[in-house]
Structure 1
Amino acid sequence: MPDKEEVRVIVGVDTHADTHHVAVVTEHGRPLADREFVATGSGYRKIVEFARSYGEVVAFGVECTGTYGAALTKVLRSEGLSVVEVNRPNRQQRRLRGKSDPLDAYDATESVLAERCTAVPKDKDGPVECMGVLRASRSSAMKARTAAINQIKDLLVSSPEVIREKYRGMVTAAMIAAMSRARPAGHHADPVHVTAWTLKKLACRYQSLTEEITEADSALKEILDAYAPLLCDLPGVGVEVASQLLVTVGDNLERVGSEAQFAALVGVAPVPASSGKTSRHRLSRGGDRNANKALHHVVLVRMGSDPRTKAYVAKRTLEGKGKREIMRRLKRYVARELFRQIMNPVPAPSIADLRPLRQELGLTLQNAAEHLHQWPSYLSRLERGQTRNDSLISAYRRWLEEQAAPARG
């Protein structure tokens, strides 16, 4: 066995549900040993002992640090060891070289040595991990609720006329409430009775899932209020968007070192698509697609209600840019703003004085809206703290103070 005082080693781990295969190589890539361990607490400790017996451990390359390798990653970090998240082996290499657990473990060490994988695994022991668990439960409940309402509507299409007539013209909420209150009576061999009975069961399921989703939303909001209360102050950002972005980043914010890395992580980093005389960028297809979907939602909301975004869209449209190109750029700008708010939260400006001062001066929302070129309803939401626009708040306050100056003089 090599002298561990003179040898620095890299360790690769191919993780599975019940076992982990571990390979050890020198920092120059020479294989030293590999062995299989059980995926239990005692097995994790034996992995650490096995790796250290060959020298100073430079880093562990672990596959699936968020699933099969999550528990091992926690143990390794508690021992003060560096852990790098390793992607699964390249499929082309697998076809040429074959596949086995030892080969996958050695591939993990090669990825670390070649610095192809440098991602820091997420910490899974904080409030963001709690949000991830809640979101997983909420997502499955949403899918099940959608399936339930689709089944209800499908049944109504072919149900007996006496049932179709009863619920015809009702909106979903009223229809679900009526179905859940129904008291079908009859024999199970009667199509009318069985259809009514099934619709009632599906309606009760729909209501139960709606309650489960509401409880998950409340729990998510409670965590956000304690962990990142200022993130939802930004226009277009609600509980759904904020929780998804935080889950994408993880509890350890330091794993995302720069705003450009965050943009790549959420799939909005521009990808060059130039050729010849054409110079352009295209949408990124990488990154977390759920986080990208959250940014897409923010952009859609702002395009419909935010004055700055509307002005930007109008400007780019006049320049001949298409909607997809405009939204690509907006996603990039939104990602920059959200990254800054996640890393260095900035509270929204105080708006408590706006409405009292306007009313004291005898001005209406229409007066302010005409001067600031905004809709009165938008200014009303601004005064009540239901939307955030820092530049507009400053302009609104300056205008009110200008109106108050002559009266005070």
Structure 2
Amino acid sequence: MAKCVGLDWGGREHGVCVVERASGAVAARFMVRHDAAGLADLVKRLARLGPPGELPVAIERPNGLVVETLMAVGHPIVPIHPNVVKASRPRYSAAGAKSDPGDCYLLADLQRTDGHRFRPLMPCSPGLKALQALVRGRAALVRQRVALANQLRTLLEGFWPGAGVLFAAIDSPIALVFVERYPTPASAARLGEQRLRAFLVRHAYSGRRSAAELLARLKAAPQGRASVAEAEAKGVLVRALASVLTRLGAQIRAVTQRIERDVAALPDGPILMSFPCAGRLCAAQILVELGDVRERFQSADQLAAEAGVCPVTRQSGKSRGVVFRWACNHRLRHAITGLADNSRHACPWAADIYQRAKARGCPHPHAVRILARAWIRVLWRAWTERKPYDPACHRGALALAA
């Protein structure tokens, strides 16, 4: 490969710089617009400089339309983390200047000088990419639901606190139906035990609290001091938020059902689902971050570092410290620790590791990460060998049972 390409992603325009691998001289530098004509022009200009397979493109963002376009014609994509680019910027400018043309040259030259440190992007199968879009999209919807539920709770605390504490969760179906039916204190002025009982039966309330207990909880809450006009105005907002949360919850449930169906159909789905208390949703969250390219993680230690379940050692002279690992795949860490936390309720081996960590004084999050680190070894072995988890082959579990 005689040339290296650097592409600085922009909203409307992308900067491109091509340098000679031997001398580092700039062979071409241009800007392309983010539209159909601009992307076609990008492909044509790069084709004039050499075959696509011999022109690797360094870019900070490892996904998107530009990446898909370049990979479709055969260009190797070399993702470089923005933190690496930021740390390397003083090598090229003592003043710390930053510009799009400068960044695309920096990316191209980093690939030329340090290309052996960066691994080319290895895309997953189409089925796994579709599952990845569903899983990450669902996570965004869940975050939006939490934000809207917090907004609704804060709104109710200002003029009608009782409605916010009547049920366990403000975004539960029964709570949303209640605040949509009774959005203000005035609308619930005539609500008695008999009416509340009929309301609970009509909406199939499955909680353990009786109508009398719920009514007592409603009356024991502080009384709002808002005027009639203010309460009516806030009641309109309560109904709007309750309606949005109801529709959002229904869509999240639909996406969850699609994820549970799709993960079972993938070849690696049953492997992740075979772990104790993994379930389909947690298995899908782990699978989309692992991918289906086995060469991506050469060892269990590399996977543990990517998942952020092993600490970082910082040593200089006589000073040595072991600190929490911040730089990692946060989605993978959330999924792996969730699997570990669930597994201790069904697997004696996992429960033993967790309890021994707690006995050493580790708090719950630290103990869960220790357990996740232990599961990583088993998970990596099952994933690389394409075999479901088998307790009969798990030496640690067998030793504990013996």
The answer to whether TM tops 0.5 is yes
What residue in structure 1 maps to residue 244 of structure 2?
A: 205
Task: Please tell me whether the aligned partners of residues 65 and 121 of structure 1 are also in contact (alpha carbons under 8 angstroms).
Answer: no
Matched, 1:302 2:343: yes
Please give the alpha-carbon distance, in whole angstroms, between the structure 2 residues aligned to 1:279 and 1:180.
58
1:36 aligned partner: 31
SS of match in other structure, 2:3: strand
- Identify the residue that residue 57 of structure 2 maps to in structure 1: 61
Per the TM alignment, residue 253 of structure 1 is displaced from its structure 2 partner at its CA by 4.7
Residue 268 of structure 1 and its aligned partner are, at CA, apart by 3.0
TM-score by length of 2: 0.72
Could you tell me which amino acid in structure 1 is paired with residue 261 of structure 2?
A: E
2:387 pairs, out of 328, 332, 346, with 346
- CA-CA distance at 1:304 after TM superposition: 4.3
Taking a change above 3 Å as real, the CA distance of residues 224 and 109 of structure 1, as seen in their structure-2 partners, is: same
Q: Please tell me whether the aligned partners of residues 273 and 281 of structure 1 are also in contact (alpha carbons under 8 angstroms).
A: yes
Q: Counterpart of 2:123?
A: 123
**Greater C-alpha radius of gyration:** 1
Q: 1:199 to 1:103 in 2, by over 3 A?
A: closer
Match of 2:265 in 1: 226
User: Given the superposition, is the C-alpha separation of residues 277 and 48 from structure 1 closer, same or farther in structure 2, using an over 3 Å criterion?
Assistant: same
- In structure 2, the partner of 1:377 is none
Confirm or deny: 8 A CA contact 1:148 1:206 kept in the other structure: yes
Which residue is 2:74 aligned to? 80
Is the 2:153–2:164 Cα contact (8 Å) retained in structure 1?
no
Equivalent pair of 1:14/1:22 in contact (CA under 8 Å): yes
**Structure 2 counterpart of 1:286, one-letter code:** A
CA distance in 2: counterparts of 1:168 and 1:258, whole angstroms: 49
Separation in 1, partners of 2:302, 2:162: 57
How far the C-alpha of 1:328 sits from its partner, in A, is 4.1
Is the 2:131–2:288 contact (alpha carbons within 8 Å) kept by the matching residues of 1? Answer: yes
> 2:393 & 2:250 partners in 1: Cα distance?
36
Partner amino acid for 1:329? I
Matched, 1:322 2:381: no
1:177 is matched with 177
Q: Structure 1 regions of 5+ residues with no counterpart?
A: 1-6, 350-387, 400-409
Distance in structure 1 (CA, Å) of the matches to 2:292 and 2:286: 11
For 2:312, the equivalent position in structure 1 comes to: 271
**Cα 1:148–1:74 shift into 2, 3 Å:** closer
Distance across 1 between alignment mates of 2:243 and 2:49: 61
Q: How far, CA to CA, are the matches of 1:54 and 1:266 in structure 2?
A: 39
Could you say what secondary structure the match of 1:46 adopts? helix
Structure 2: tracts of 5 or more residues without a match: 188-226
Q: Deviation string for 1:261-309 (max 9, x for gaps)?
A: 3223222344224567787744322111121122222222234443102
> Is 1:293 paired with 2:293?
no
Question: Which shifted more, 87-96 or 280-289?
Answer: 87-96
Instruction: State how far apart, in whole Å, the 2-side matches of 1:220 and 1:292 are.
Output: 19
Distance 1:152 1:41 in 2: 43
Contact 2:264 2:270 in 1 (8 A): yes
Could you tell me which amino acid in structure 1 is paired with residue 103 of structure 2?
A: D
Given the two structures, how large is their TM-score scaled by the length of structure 1?
0.70
